[in-house]
Structure 1
Amino acid sequence: MGRAGFAGLLVALTLAWTGPALAAGPFANWAAVVVAGDWHAHSGGPSEAFDNARHDVVGQLERIGFDKANLRQFSVRPERYKDAGLAKSDPEGIYNALVELTAKAPDGCMVYFSSHGAPTGVVVDQKILPPGILGEILNRTCGARPTVVVISACFSGVFIPELAQPNRMVLTAARPDRTSFGCGEADRYPYFDDCFLSSAPQARDFPSLAGAVRACVAAREIKEGMTPPSEPQLFIGPQLRPMLPLYAFPTPPPKGG
């Protein structure tokens, strides 16, 4: 075989090995779970805000390259919606889903909660899921792989000390001693989820998205006169920090294009 033929063979082999993986994108083999943990407004009346957030966060994750086959959604009232594969919000069900998903999607984990919160944890179907239990769920399923956790709930900063690991990014809607806003009966989304969804199309990656969400929440709270400010919290582990720019989101289309 001549030099030109050998070079052509190398190119063909390289494309055969790397082409599909590169085309699939960096999140194709990540496991993802998105949970709506309640259906009540802060008044106690009914609200679609958390399920609206769940549904549309899933849409954004699929847009940036998460595979629908590796993603599970949870709702307190799954029978009310027609989303494929929608399950009942329950800590055991969330754990089992992550066990299943991480076995077939080993590259990373994404976990998103939208719910009410308390200083002791996040509401999951009128029960509190405390930081320690969520931390143990992640330890047993996601382990040491890159993991992004987003918790949209009042007092959700309480999760950061327990979940903070070198391989994790944790973004919460509020400080551990503050409420978040936008959980009324007429709200389409909580403020934090609204900012996550509106910021995602322009974000480069998860760190830039986190920065945009925090700025958006602060501006919204000032505009609406909400006090004290919720002050969303962010932790990025030292092992994950240099890797996150490699997990780039698709480039957004030009405005007006």
Structure 2
Amino acid sequence: MRAAAAVIGLLALLLAPLSIARAGPFSDWSAVVVAGDNRAHSGGPTKAFDNARRDVAKALVELGFDQRSIRQLSVRPRRDPTTVVGRADGRTLAESLRASARTTKGCLFYLSSHGSPDGAILGQELLRPYRLAALLDDACPDRPTVVVISACFSGVFIPALQKKDRLILTAARADRASFGCGESDRYPYFDTCFLSSLPGAHDFAALSADVQACVARKERETGAEPASEPQVWIGPALRPLLPLYAFEKPNLRTP
């Protein structure tokens, strides 16, 4: 019996490092990725927001997120037959954030949609900054949290969301529009830059700077003005930890 116990203990010690090595820094994080609208700025249909939602979720898996811990929401969830997608509305968002973050150590929220100086479009509703702050405070309190909002005027969310353990990245200043929401656009400019910058970035701090540079370059090339000026805010408790949350990128491809 003692010999058997010793063998079991030795095996546990040998296998534990392998298990730890296999579990990356985001394996115990949750994510909610949302396409908040399906209309172009012209009022016609666009797939840009849903394309971003789908491909950001795929990219998170490549970064080391567990696919089972990623929830996706869309205005038209049934149009994605290969993925379980919930409806983009306030009630489902609250339930998804709360359920996905229940047993995890970190949280990520990503929204691609239209925006206004009062908030961002979420289906038939307007997601206001302090409403999102309350949802995140409830779902993921006192844990590292990354919030990415791809929408016009999305800088309006930063004051309400600021906490010591959060990183907030927005597609525009609070008083600026963002670009790339046309009927034929694959993604909004910001989402294009987010996805294309991932392969070269080490962590979310580096990614944020790369996205800012990418958006500025793309807007200059296309003559889009005034510049949207994506914003980034990093809480003091999270900033020194971000290098520890290094990206795994085995199969990432530039869009």
TM-score by length of 2: 0.92
Deviation >6 Å, runs of 4+: 8-11
Checking the alignment, whether the CA contact within 8 Å between 2:108 and 2:145 is kept in structure 1 is: yes
Q: Residue in 2 aligned with 1:3?
A: none
Instruction: Provide the rounded CA distance (Å) in 1 between the counterparts of 2:124 and 2:43.
Output: 12
Checking the alignment, whether the CA contact within 8 Å between 2:89 and 2:124 is kept in structure 1 is: no
1:99 Cα offset (Å)? 1.4
Verify: 1:100 aligned to 2:99, yes or no. yes
Count of paired positions: 248
Q: CA deviation digits over 1:132-171, x for unaligned, max 9?
A: 0000000001101000000000000000000010000000
- Counterpart selection for 1:132 from 130, 133, 136: 130
- 1:167-186 to structure 2, matched below 5 A, reads 167-186=165-184
Checking the alignment, whether the CA contact within 8 Å between 1:48 and 1:188 is kept in structure 2 is: yes
Checking the alignment, whether the CA contact within 8 Å between 1:204 and 1:251 is kept in structure 2 is: no
Q: Residue in 2 aligned with 1:66?
A: 65
1:12 Cα offset (Å)? 4.9
Q: Residue in 2 aligned with 1:43?
A: 42
Write the letter of the residue equivalent to 1:108.
Answer: G
1:131 Cα offset (Å)? 0.4
- Counterpart selection for 2:196 from 185, 195, 198: 198
Q: Residue in 2 aligned with 1:24?
A: 23
Write the letter of the residue equivalent to 2:227.
Answer: P
3-state SS of 1:87 partner? strand
3-state SS of 2:27 partner? coil
Write the letter of the residue equivalent to 1:64.
Answer: L
Checking the alignment, whether the CA contact within 8 Å between 1:158 and 1:176 is kept in structure 2 is: yes
Q: Residue in 2 aligned with 1:224?
A: 222
5+ long unaligned stretches in structure 1: 1-5
Checking the alignment, whether the CA contact within 8 Å between 2:31 and 2:107 is kept in structure 1 is: yes
Q: CA deviation digits over 1:7-35, x for unaligned, max 9?
A: x9987544443431331211111010000
Verify: 1:154 aligned to 2:162, yes or no. no
5+ long unaligned stretches in structure 2: 1-5
1:80 Cα offset (Å)? 1.4
Checking the alignment, whether the CA contact within 8 Å between 2:32 and 2:72 is kept in structure 1 is: yes
Q: Residue in 2 aligned with 1:239?
A: 237
Instruction: Provide the rounded CA distance (Å) in 2 between the counterparts of 1:242 and 1:250.
Output: 19
Instruction: Provide the rounded CA distance (Å) in 2 between the counterparts of 1:16 and 1:81.
Output: 39
Verify: 1:76 aligned to 2:100, yes or no. no
Identity of aligned residues (%): 52
3-state SS of 1:62 partner? helix
Checking the alignment, whether the CA contact within 8 Å between 2:62 and 2:250 is kept in structure 1 is: no
Give the superposed CA RMSD: 2.0
